[in-house]
């Protein structure tokens, strides 16, 4: 029920991983929830430093509409006596209500439907690392009780806010880096997981601000600090049966899907790590997964298999795969959709099972890398923007969305060239 001093914000995560939208006062909340609000197509491409890519495909033309999903909402309290905000996530649609080809949330829905057509469904949970500025702690002991107590006031307020909207987190803990923490979500379907991710990150940012702190999910705050990543855990299901893993390795259902991710790894990366800053994390020996391989419990692999206590018969009802090459600059809807699309390509091609790489891939001799299809991932945004990556994005999402998305990435690369690493990181830390 609308209350005085209450606003509604309708938002959609854009192609730069930023939630943007419009707000209305209490008196218009019911109307906006029913009918949505108009939006400018080119706004989908506004960069992290503001400004539109010069080659964005929309220009000054067109109009779309943000149509909210009542199941994807959270209520954020007021700041210093200011009004509360309801945040509702939206599909971007044509003015007649039909799907818009460039909506990332719609792209994920389409990928989910195509996965279902193969007889598979997916469950997803995400781990987000982030830095909290303003805690004024002289020493951060990694994974310690003291660090956990320092973050507990923020964590509890975040948990309480999300719980009131039906969103549960699995954990909220101190991490390895200075003033670094991590949240983990509960496994659910991909669309719900993506929605909850956006709502959770916005809640953390908003609550931190209310407490005089600043939460940043920037991938690499500085070159000598531990970076902030996102680990995308997913499992594949045939009905009520988890078909991800059996006897500590991939099944005949999951193997071609994972092989598709390996085959299309270079095309996945620009969809799961967006900014020039992101690529400073993708280094060997950093537990980031900078090589195209999958390994049982291997944190240097792009994909880590986690059996989680196999049953006596070898089945692994709680098993998951962890895609490690992602961060919070990504549009989470496109990141998950790209993983599904690459997996579907592997299924369609009947790709053979990849080997279990039980080594640090950077230490493998060249001939072994070649035999196991182990390749280093792109080390810069410029290197990631290949013709093949654009071609795959076009196949997966259609030419309109692919063109708009790559106009953003090209603009990012050009902008980044004008800054030192530290200067760009300082600006992006205020955005992500």
Q: What is the pLDDT of residue 3?
A: 47
Give the pTM: 0.97
| Residue 159 clears pLDDT 60, i.e. is over it | yes
Mean pLDDT of 90-112: 98
Please write down the HEC assignment for all residues of the chain: CCCCCEEEEEEEECCCCCEEEEEEEHHHHHHHHHHCEEECHHHHHCCCCCCCCCCCCCCCCCCEEEEEEEEEEEEECCCCCCCEEEEEEEEEECCCCCECCCCHHHHHHHHHHHHHCCCCEEEEEEEEEEEEECCCCCCCCCCCHHHHHHHHHHHHHHHHHHHHCCCCEEEEEECCCCCEEEEEECCECHHHHHHHHHHHHHHHHHHHHHCCCEEECCCCCCCCCCCCCEEEEEEEEECCEECCEECCEECCCCHHHHHHHHHCHHHHHHHHCCCCHHHHCCCCCCCCCCECCEEECCCCCCEEEECCCCCCCCECCCCEEEECCCCCCCCHHHHHHHHHHHHHHHHHHCCCCCCECCCCHHHCCHHHHHHHCCCECCCCHHHHCCHHHHHHHHHHHCHHHHHHHHHHHHHHHHHHCCCCHHHHHHHHCCCC
Which band of pLDDT confidence, cut at 50, 70 and 90, is reported for residue 381?
A: very high
Q: Which of 394, 375, 374, 384 is nearest to 57 (CA)?
A: 394
Burial (0-12, 13-18, 19+ Cβ within 10 Å), 241: exposed
Q: What is the pLDDT of residue 81?
A: 84
The pLDDT tens digits for 279-302 are 999 999 999 999 999 999 999 999
Mean confidence (pLDDT) of the chain: 96
The pLDDT tens digits for 120-155 are 999 999 999 999 999 977 668 888 999 999 999 999
Separation in Å, CA 57 to CA 33, 53, 215, 402, 415:
29, 9, 33, 10, 19
Q: What is the pLDDT of residue 142?
A: 87
Are 268 and 261 in contact by the 8 Å Cβ rule? The answer is yes
Q: Which of 301, 278, 305, 306 is nearest to 363 (CA)?
A: 301
Distance between CA atoms of residues 360 and 295, nearest Å: 10
Q: What is the pLDDT of residue 80?
A: 83
Are 207 and 132 in contact by the 8 Å Cβ rule? The answer is no
Residue 246: both structure tokens together: 């059996």
Which band of pLDDT confidence, cut at 50, 70 and 90, is reported for residue 312?
A: confident
Least confident span in 2-6, 17-21, 193-197, 212-216: 2-6
- Interior/surface letters 132-145, b for 16+ CB within 10 angstroms, e for the rest: beebeeeebeeeee
Mean pLDDT of 202-227: 96
Distance between CA atoms of residues 373 and 228, nearest Å: 27
- What fold does the segment set 109-388 form as a domain? Creatine Kinase; Chain A, domain 2 (3.30.590)
Are 121 and 111 in contact by the 8 Å Cβ rule? The answer is no
Residue 30: other Cβ atoms inside 10 A: 13
| Residue 378 clears pLDDT 50, i.e. is over it | yes
Are 63 and 38 in contact by the 8 Å Cβ rule? The answer is yes
The pLDDT tens digits for 29-79 are 999 999 999 999 999 999 999 999 999 999 999 999 999 999 999 999 998
| Residue 1 clears pLDDT 80, i.e. is over it | no
Q: What is the dihedral angle through the alpha carbons of 105, 108, 113, 117, rounded to the nearest 10 degrees?
A: 170
The pLDDT tens digits for 315-342 are 999 999 999 999 999 999 999 999 999 9
Distance between CA atoms of residues 195 and 20, nearest Å: 14
**What is the share, in percent, of the chain residues with pLDDT greater than 90?**
94
**What is the share, in percent, of the chain residues with pLDDT greater than 70?**
99
Residue 184: other Cβ atoms inside 10 A: 16
Q: What is the pLDDT of residue 139?
A: 66
Q: What is the pLDDT of residue 2?
A: 45
Q: Nearest-5° angle of CA 414, CA 415, CA 418?
A: 100
């Amino acid at each position: 029920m609308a209350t005085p001093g209450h606003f509604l914000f309708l938002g959609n995560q854009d192609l730069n991983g930023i939630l943007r939208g419009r707000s209305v006062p209490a008196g218009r909340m019911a109307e906006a929830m029913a009918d949505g609000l108009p939006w400018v197509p080119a706004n989908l491409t506004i960069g992290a430093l503001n400004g539109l890519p010069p080659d964005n495909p929309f220009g000054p033309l067109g109009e779309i509409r943000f149509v909210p999903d009542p199941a994807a909402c959270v209520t954020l309290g007021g700041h210093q006596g200011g009004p509360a905000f309801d945040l509702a996530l939206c599909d971007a649609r044509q003015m007649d209500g039909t799907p818009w080809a460039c909506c990332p949330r719609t792209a994920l829905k389409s990928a989910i439907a195509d996965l279902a057509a193969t007889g598979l469904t997916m469950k997803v949970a995400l781990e987000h690392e982030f830095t909290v500025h303003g805690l004024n702690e002289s020493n951060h002991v990694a994974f310690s009780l003291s660090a956990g107590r320092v973050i507990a006031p923020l964590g509890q307020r975040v948990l309480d806010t999300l719980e009131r909207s039906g969103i549960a987190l699995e954990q909220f803990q101190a991490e390895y880096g200075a003033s670094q923490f991590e949240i983990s979500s509960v496994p659910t379907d991909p669309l719900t997981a993506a929605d909850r991710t956006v709502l959770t990150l916005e809640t953390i940012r908003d609550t931190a601000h209310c407490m005089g702190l600043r939460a940043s999910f920037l991938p690499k705050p500085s070159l000598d600090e531990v970076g902030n990543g996102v680990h995308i855990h997913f499992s594949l299901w045939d009905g009520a049966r988890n078909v991800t893993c059996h006897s500590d390795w991939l099944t005949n259902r999951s193997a071609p899907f994972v092989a598709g991710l390996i085959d299309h790894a270079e095309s996945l990366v620009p969809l799961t790590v967006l900014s020039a800053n992101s690529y400073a994390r993708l280094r060997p020996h950093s537990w980031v997964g900078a090589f195209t391989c999958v390994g049982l419990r291997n944190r240097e692999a792009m994909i880590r298999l986690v059996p989680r206590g196999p049953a006596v018969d070898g089945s692994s009802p709680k098993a998951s795969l962890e895609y490690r090459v992602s961060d919070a600059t990504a549009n989470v809807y496109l990141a998950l959709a790209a993983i599904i699309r690459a997996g579907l390509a592997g299924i369609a091609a009947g790709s053979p099972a990849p080997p279990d790489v039980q080594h640090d891939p950077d230490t493998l001799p060249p001939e072994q890398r070649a035999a196991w299809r182990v390749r280093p991932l792109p080390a810069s945004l410029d290197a990631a923007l290949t013709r093949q990556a654009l071609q795959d994005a076009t196949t997966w999402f259609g030419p309109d969305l692919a063109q708009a998305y790559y106009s953003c990435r090209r603009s990012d690369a050009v902008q980044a060239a004008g800054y030192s690493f530290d200067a760009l990181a300082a600006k992006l830390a205020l955005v992500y």
